[in-house]
Structure 1
Amino acid sequence: MSTAAGHSAQPIVTILDAMRHHDLFARWFRDPVSFACWCVLLSALFGLTLAPAQLEIFRKCTGRTAPLASGYIEAWLIVGRRGGKSLILALIAVYLAVFKVWSDRLVPGERGTVLVIAADRRQARVIFRYITALITETPMIAAMVLGEITQDRIDLCNGISIEISTANFRSVRGYTLVAALCDEIAFWQGDDSASPDVEILAALRPSMTTMLPDAMLLCASSPYAKRGALYDTFRKYFGQNDAPVLVWRASTTTMNPSVPASVISDAFERDPANAAAEYGAEFRSDIEAFVSREAVEACVIKRRHELPPTKGLSYVAFVDPSGGSSDSMTLAIAHREGEKAVLDAVREAKPPFSPEQVTADFAKLLKTYGLKKVQGDKYAGLWPRERFETHGIIYEPSAKPKSDLYCEMLPLINGVRVELLDHPKLVTQICSLERRTARSGKDSIDALGHEDIANAVSGAVTGLILQDWSGSRAMLEIARQETAAMKANGTWPFPLDNDKPQPITKEWAKGSVEWHRQQRGEIGPPT
């Protein structure tokens, strides 16, 4: 068989033959009932004939009437937790590496690669351990191994290697891929990108072109929020009969009937929304993106990476403390210009680090902006207060949790009432924030990954805008900003004596405000 969307001639040994043969992989698939639905998927994927009962399973899990006779070179498996995804991906990886012939498309010195990609190496090794066992514990395949098997690579004598990689669009480039297996793609996160799944897939596809029509892209995951590559592919291809991309969605019970029903029912009782995703393979309706990337980027001042301290400006700062072992410790400094909050500086200390040294560095920066106090997370305990006070900085615990700060930052972003620095990691963290609706109806904002920088920035900018700037305080702030601007451009009509600042009294403040209002024509001159 050969079509643009399918596979070339089938190997003598089909994947079902390999799965059932006692000299190959039968030991891993002893219970036919537990893997019955997986056999249907594998048959559809590799263009094998389905029995009438299997066709009904196919229809239930794909929304299609029948599979393509040629099979599929791209498939997305949306399957509940403990459904058996990792073992099946390992089986497919070994089958493609061992039983397919790739030598006619590889030039001397080139190796084809089966690449297993996960959010981190720990997760990727779950599949890799299955792969290692399938190869080393099957004597006729173990003889194909070249050299030593490492923690992340197996080289075979037929010119194929099996490797693991983390979900990073830079690290997956440069391979000649015979297969890419993307594990738990719905949960991929990245510091450099708000959509690492999309960017990694864009980097993978060109690496497979010379191995077509046999190179295979498999993405498997339990579902999460209604966004990202997994959800977009589901919406586009699920139930589409002639589509070249197969989307298979099935619950844990469907794919692995051996999972105790009591485990699943208990999970639904504890948290129905979470269990529906984890075990029912349903995308979550209680989670949505907090803010669009377009809205955040509209607030970014391009090529502005930091603003130096300026005399006459009043600054605020917010710190997100960390003990130095797992999370970053971050600091944000901002000031106000009219109705806008302006982000001046951001600092991040990545773990591991010395909290004492980082506190000293942050205190030094705060003082350069004329700051003698900083706000921070009230859940950090006493150590931030004690260490900042050692360096002459007052630490004030924030009265609000970070979820509330994020909620208050949203209208500032959507209304373009904040100027953000050109800081890609900050933009990524803000875009990764999620709105979750609890059963009580209360919303909370949090991130799937790290958001230490976003937390510090939200505390700084919302602290500025949400202060009481009404009445005389607002007029004084406007007067102060206009005075600073006039002194800077040389239009200030009074003698400058910066070494002897005039004491700010109520009478002086009232006169200053009235003088500025006269200059703007809001009131007439005094009579």
Structure 2
Amino acid sequence: MLRAAYGLPLAPQQQEAFKAVAGGRLAPTNRVKELWAVAGRRSGKSRVAAAIAVAVATVEKHLLAPGEIGFVLVLSATVAQAHVVFSYAKAFLEESPVLRHHLIDATKSELRLTGNIIIGTHPNSFRSVRGRSLLAVICDETALWRDDSSANPDLEVYRAVKPALIASGGPLIGISSPYRKLGLLYNRHRDYFGVSDPNVLVVQGASRSFNPLLDEVGINAALADDPESSRAEWEGEFREDIAAFLSDADIDQCVDHDRPLELPPRNGIRYFAFADPSGGRHDAFCLAIGHREDERVVIDVLRGQMPPFDPHEIVREHAAVLKGFGLRELVGDNYSAEWVSTAYKSAGIRYVRSDVPKGRMYLENLPAFTRRTVSLPDHPTLLRELRLLERRTHVGGKDTVDHGRTGSDDFCNAVFGVLHSCSMKRQTLRYGTIGTPNANGVHQFNELDPKTGRPISRDPYRNPLSSEFNGCVTGKGPDAELSLFNAQRGIMRRIR
């Protein structure tokens, strides 16, 4: 693979091996500008990334101006993965009698070499790579990159490093296990795999194609136990059972860029609220408030506190916001800790655990995005979480929706909770005899909660013919027939 990427001649046996992982394309005759390797787990990706970085930094010749520092960057998904690549690169230099004289100094993440060249191993960040003279960029596990400020960190990094690589003529190399069919790795595979392009080479292969020492029996057992996941892990195939839950077009069309981040409360509007609590260590503590306008649902307020924080202080802040919108009740995620209900109760808010799991809320309220009947604030964290939601199809055809491996959906959960609450019509069933007083001369009227079937306590002396019961008509006796709200006589059913 590396010989082909550098345009070196291949022996007949190497030609066959190359075609097997390159989709049958012809080997390049010159060094390609981009190399993308889609490989399974334990295929030596991090070690190869380190080897390429050392080769570019020590073997190739670079023209640098006096005082200019050339960087060979290895960007990984996490700090821990970056350290793995760093350890490999440092070992290559220290253990080689030919290369060790190039190493001048080593820090926690950089290797300083002769000729004003630095090998840097860092977590991916499109901000930190700008303003450097880049001799090469090696992207490790790009399919699994995550960033709190972007839904597409791989694309952002690519855009940030490409101008510097064009200036230096250096290569861009991406090495990763596949994941879902989204992102820069998948786009490059879709457009260039099997295509004899002189500038871009894409190879794809199973773990054993790159590392034949792996246990074949163990891999086959994993494939039999979990075919979909194992095909991505060991066979190097993009997952068919995971897809983006929402398209970028659906999300963008639902964002109101002209409104402020929060809308003030208005009189005569019925608001709904949903919270996604957190203990303050790992997840965000989020609150969303919204209302319905005809067929549209407007998210008026969306707040979230990232950890660490004092959860009781957040509850008090939420209570003040809720009371400002005339709310004394809050629906929330079925959070296990009992302190959530107690804390909200002490702040004057009744906390009701949602009886609908979040995956079901996501699926049931998907039409709100496809029909553009939701108005969202231009909230960066919310939009990033929406773009990263994954829809999984399980054996038997059941779909679930959740965040990815290292993502989060706290803001999404709060918004979809409000969408669910706004879509539920509150119903009550009222029955009694209207126009016929009881023994004490008082009109008797009862009301049932449709969820529990139990009577709702009301003041028995309230006049049922007041404005609260507009539309009621008097019946002729206790045997009047049950009818709907717009019935002309008898006992009434009213939907509020």
Judge same fold: TM > 0.5, yes or no. Answer: yes
- Alignment partner of 1:219 out of 149, 152, 174: 174
Structure 1 residue 440 corresponds to structure 2 residue 399 = no
Summarize the alignment of residues 99-498 of structure 1 with structure 2, pairs less than 5 Å apart.
99-102=59-62, 104=63, 106-147=64-105, 149-212=106-169, 215-304=170-259, 305-448=261-404, 449-468=407-426
> How far apart are 1:144 and its partner, in Å?
2.6
Alpha-carbon separation, structure 1, partners of 2:376 and 2:289: 11
Q: Out of 365-374 and 250-259, give the one that drifted further.
A: 365-374
Alpha-carbon separation, structure 1, partners of 2:147 and 2:298: 26
1:165–1:171: 8 Å Cα contact kept in structure 2?
no
Other-structure match for 2:436: none
Alpha-carbon separation, structure 2, partners of 1:505 and 1:339: 31
> How far apart are 1:139 and its partner, in Å?
4.7
Provide, for residues 43-87 of structure 1, a one-character-per-residue CA deviation record: whole Å limited to 9, x for no partner.
Answer: 111222211111000111002343112132210000000011110
Say which SS state the counterpart of residue 351 (structure 1) adopts. coil
1:302–1:421: 8 Å Cα contact kept in structure 2?
yes
Alpha-carbon separation, structure 1, partners of 2:429 and 2:152: 44
> How far apart are 1:511 and its partner, in Å?
4.4
- Opposite residue 129 of structure 2, the aligned amino acid is V
Alpha-carbon separation, structure 1, partners of 2:212 and 2:258: 56
1:335–1:464: 8 Å Cα contact kept in structure 2?
yes
> How far apart are 1:251 and its partner, in Å?
0.1
> How far apart are 1:282 and its partner, in Å?
0.9
Alpha-carbon separation, structure 2, partners of 1:504 and 1:346: 40
Alpha-carbon separation, structure 1, partners of 2:463 and 2:216: 73
> How far apart are 1:280 and its partner, in Å?
0.4
Other-structure match for 2:433: none
Other-structure match for 1:66: 26
- Alignment partner of 2:7 out of 23, 41, 47: 47
- Alignment partner of 2:41 out of 66, 69, 81: 81
Alpha-carbon separation, structure 1, partners of 2:331 and 2:218: 44
Alpha-carbon separation, structure 1, partners of 2:465 and 2:281: 50
Q: State TM-score, norm by structure 1.
A: 0.79
Report the structure, 1 or 2, having the larger helix content.
Answer: 1
Other-structure match for 1:500: none
Q: Out of 159-168 and 319-328, give the one that drifted further.
A: 159-168
Alpha-carbon separation, structure 2, partners of 1:135 and 1:386: 60
Alpha-carbon separation, structure 2, partners of 1:139 and 1:79: 31
Other-structure match for 2:447: none
Q: State TM-score, norm by structure 2.
A: 0.84
> How far apart are 1:513 and its partner, in Å?
11
Aligned sequence identity (%): 39
- Opposite residue 276 of structure 1, the aligned amino acid is R
Report the structure, 1 or 2, having the larger strand content.
Answer: 2
2:465–2:472: 8 Å Cα contact kept in structure 1?
no
Cα distance change on mapping 1:197 and 1:504 into 2, 3 Å: farther
Other-structure match for 2:493: none
Cα distance change on mapping 1:69 and 1:369 into 2, 3 Å: same
Alpha-carbon separation, structure 1, partners of 2:109 and 2:310: 32
Say which SS state the counterpart of residue 380 (structure 1) adopts. coil
Other-structure match for 2:52: 92
Cα distance change on mapping 1:513 and 1:451 into 2, 3 Å: farther
> How far apart are 1:510 and its partner, in Å?
5.2
Say what the alpha-carbon RMSD is for the aligned residues.
Answer: 2.2
Cα distance change on mapping 1:426 and 1:470 into 2, 3 Å: farther
Say which SS state the counterpart of residue 298 (structure 2) adopts. strand
- Opposite residue 173 of structure 1, the aligned amino acid is R
Q: Runs of 5+ in structure 2 lacking a partner?
A: 431-461, 474-496
Alpha-carbon separation, structure 2, partners of 1:506 and 1:74: 78
Provide, for residues 302-347 of structure 1, a one-character-per-residue CA deviation record: whole Å limited to 9, x for no partner.
Answer: 1421001222222111111112111111111111112211101111
Count of aligned pairs: 440
Provide, for residues 207-263 of structure 1, a one-character-per-residue CA deviation record: whole Å limited to 9, x for no partner.
Answer: 112211xx1100011111122211111111111124420001010111111111232
> How far apart are 1:357 and its partner, in Å?
1.7
Say which SS state the counterpart of residue 173 (structure 2) adopts. strand
1:339–1:465: 8 Å Cα contact kept in structure 2?
no
Alpha-carbon separation, structure 2, partners of 1:283 and 1:173: 31
Q: Runs of 5+ in structure 1 lacking a partner?
A: 1-40, 473-502, 515-527
> How far apart are 1:469 and its partner, in Å?
7.6
Cα distance change on mapping 1:339 and 1:145 into 2, 3 Å: same
Cα distance change on mapping 1:401 and 1:511 into 2, 3 Å: closer
> How far apart are 1:378 and its partner, in Å?
1.0
Alpha-carbon separation, structure 1, partners of 2:86 and 2:471: 72
- Opposite residue 429 of structure 1, the aligned amino acid is E
2:30–2:198: 8 Å Cα contact kept in structure 1?
no
